Amino acid sequence: MDRVDIYDTTLRDGMQGLEINFTLEDKLTIAHALDEAGFDFIEGGFPLSNEKEAEFFRRCRNERFMNARIVSFGSTRGPGHKAREDAHVRALVEAETPTVIIVGKTWKAHVDKVLRCSYEENLEMIHDSVDFLVQEGRQVFFDCEHFFDGFRDDPEYARRVVEAASQAGAECVILCDTNGGTLPTGVVAAYDYLSGSHIAPLGGHFHNDCGTAVANSLAAVEHGAVHIQGTINGWGERCGNANLCAVVPNLILKMGVQCTCADHLSHLTPLSRFVAEKANVIPDKRQPYVGVAAFSHKAGQHADVIAKEGRLMEHIDSAKVGNERRVLLSELAGRSTIVDKLRPYGDFSKKSPEVEELVSTLKAREREGFEYEAAEASFDLLMRRVIGQYEPLVVLRNYHLETYKTAEAESKTVGRMFLSSENKEIMGAAVAVGPVETLDDALRDALGPHHPWLEKIHLVDYRVRVLNPEKETGAKVRVFISSSDHTHTWDTVGVHENIVEASWQALVDSLEYYYNTFVIEERAATEEPTGA
Ligand SMILES: [Zn+2]
């Protein structure tokens, strides 16, 4: 099959999505991450919309990209004047990107109601704008806004729009499902209708309002598209855009399409999580290919098979997209799950006493309300304790918290704690609004001077669940905490009748996990070897 260019619009269309925001620095680091993952085009934004967008393009001029071209986005000129006099079109020239993309109307209803000009004038606006930018030395792409609605309404006019942009020199004309209402059958009909016309190569831009944006992108490629647009994690306006984290591996692994991304496919999972981290959005665990659950298996009777013949249960090798197989823990977990989990720490068999002990510990903890499927870091600490590879970071002497509120003033919590860490007796204190933040701050106050790595770690999610609501306010709660150091994320759990104590357990586990997994190992690696 032919080559397909992958065009990312996370930094423009993706940012239209609910709760998605990036700073200028974020946008630059994301652009580099996309480049390293082999994306061909990165749409940086709309240079006229605000100063941050314009600054992004200025900064990009001095950045080096290995695979990607930076693209500025704008629209055709308005009716009644020349492209060279139009502020939108001029802003694209001033952005100084090698490639520009302009969007224009394809649906007659929009020409009538939005532009309020004749259908011929619309075609002239498209031709003039593309032509001007081509004369300015740019590689020009043209987005046909609401193409599929226009096509259903008047296929011949839709074709004339594609022709106008092609004849003016657009190198790719992208059929956009701007309101996301099209199904794959509609996509196929449009690409087939245009095939054989004297037009530029076609691309596709799909929104996910019918849940078919990925399917539509694949159908477009099967019917001739050589350029696909989308966003990381499928973020975008309303229900989002085509999710490139699914489109790209589908094209490469399932359809045998040539893409620059094919040489960098293992970047995909880290890229998805990195972009989520930058947006401060919790990654969707159930995302195809890149989600934490994508290659997860509930253990039990299948655990043996999964451990030995995992590929029989999975549609691809998870490593190809940079993901990994996980065997989830649960009360049903057989010994072979535990053996599998212990593998990084050595060769244990189902009969090892360590495995025996872990099985019974796990069962006892689950009866208390602990759940490790979503808290693998806490389970890792359980394993380390049993096999003697655990170094405590925090030995609690005592903590004390007091929440007070006076009249109209905001409530506050003061706290102090005494601990021992690495054989030093230390104390910490803090004042914050709530008890969990106070505990966290006081813990950092105590440990910070001895453990500068703590600065890198922050909490990305905190969730509480009541386990036995029939006990009312005396009920047990389970707290999950997700933490991150910008590269890794990990989850820990705590259970108690007292929400402060449950939070404390999860917080301490979070730091102890990082300390045992990364800090001690790094320390050992950098220590001077002793002796000869
Ligand atoms: Zn869009």
Instruction: Identify the CA nearest to 292 among candidates 308, 276, 312.
Output: 276
Check residue 254 and report its DSSP letter.
Answer: I
Least confident range of 15-29, 270-284, 324-338? 324-338
Taking only the tens place, the pLDDT of each residue in 218-271 is 999 999 999 999 999 999 999 999 999 999 999 999 999 999 999 999 999 999
Instruction: Identify the CA nearest to 162 among candidates 141, 139, 144, 188.
Output: 144
Mean pLDDT of 338-364: 89
Ligand 1 center from residue 135 Cα (angstroms): 27
Q: What confidence category does residue 530 fall into, taking pLDDT thresholds of 50, 70 and 90?
A: low
Report the mean per-residue pLDDT for the chain.
92
* pLDDT at residue 299 in the model: 62
Least confident range of 327-341, 429-443, 459-473? 327-341
Whole-structure pTM value: 0.78
**What are φ and ψ of residue 104, in 5° steps?**
-145, 165
Ligand 1 center from residue 95 Cα (angstroms): 21
* pLDDT at residue 328 in the model: 73
Domain extents in the chain? 5-48+70-258, 296-368, 395-526
Q: Is the pLDDT of residue 314 over 80?
A: yes
Ligand 1 center from residue 242 Cα (angstroms): 9
- d(CA 482, CA 3) in angstroms, rounded, equals 40
* pLDDT at residue 289 in the model: 98
Q: Is the pLDDT of residue 380 over 80?
A: yes
Instruction: Identify the CA nearest to 477 among candidates 330, 370, 367, 364.
Output: 370
Q: What confidence category does residue 50 fall into, taking pLDDT thresholds of 50, 70 and 90?
A: confident
Instruction: Identify the CA nearest to 244 among candidates 7, 403, 406, 476.
Output: 7
- d(CA 207, CA 307) in angstroms, rounded, equals 38
Q: Is the pLDDT of residue 305 over 80?
A: no
Mean pLDDT of 506-518: 96
Token pair recorded at residue 463: 């969730």
Taking only the tens place, the pLDDT of each residue in 182-229 is 999 999 999 999 999 999 999 999 999 999 999 999 999 999 999 999
Ligand 1 center from residue 213 Cα (angstroms): 11
Ligand 1 center from residue 118 Cα (angstroms): 25
Chain-centroid distance of CA 225 in Å reads 26
Ligand 1 center from residue 28 Cα (angstroms): 21
Ligand 1 center from residue 141 Cα (angstroms): 14
Q: Is the pLDDT of residue 103 over 90?
A: yes
Strand pairing of 99-105 and 69-75?
parallel
- d(CA 204, CA 173) in angstroms, rounded, equals 8
Mean pLDDT of 71-87: 94
Mean pLDDT of 383-411: 93
Ligand 1 center from residue 30 Cα (angstroms): 19
Taking only the tens place, the pLDDT of each residue in 398-448 is 999 999 998 888 899 999 999 999 999 999 999 999 999 999 999 999 999
Mean pLDDT of 148-157: 98
* pLDDT at residue 244 in the model: 98
What distances in angstroms separate CA 501 from CA 166, 333, 430, 494, one per listed residue?
A: 66, 28, 17, 8
Q: What confidence category does residue 321 fall into, taking pLDDT thresholds of 50, 70 and 90?
A: very high
Which helix (H) or strand (E) segment is 248 a member of? helix 244-249
Would you call 426 helix, strand, or coil by DSSP? strand
Token pair recorded at residue 251: 């094209």
* pLDDT at residue 398 in the model: 96
Instruction: Identify the CA nearest to 477 among candidates 466, 469, 492, 487.
Output: 466
Ligand 1 center from residue 13 Cα (angstroms): 6
Q: CATH number of the domain at 5-48+70-258, please?
A: 3.20.20.70
Q: Is the pLDDT of residue 32 over 70?
A: yes
Which helix (H) or strand (E) segment is 460 a member of? strand 458-466
CB-side neighbour CA atoms (13 Å) of 423 = 0
Ligand 1 center from residue 441 Cα (angstroms): 42
Name the superfamily (CATH) of residues 395-526. Alpha-isopropylmalate synthase LeuA, regulatory domain (3.30.160.270)
Contact 330, 300 (CB under 8 A): yes
Which helix (H) or strand (E) segment is 77 a member of? none
Ligand 1 center from residue 236 Cα (angstroms): 7
Mean pLDDT of 363-388: 90
Ligand 1 center from residue 178 Cα (angstroms): 5
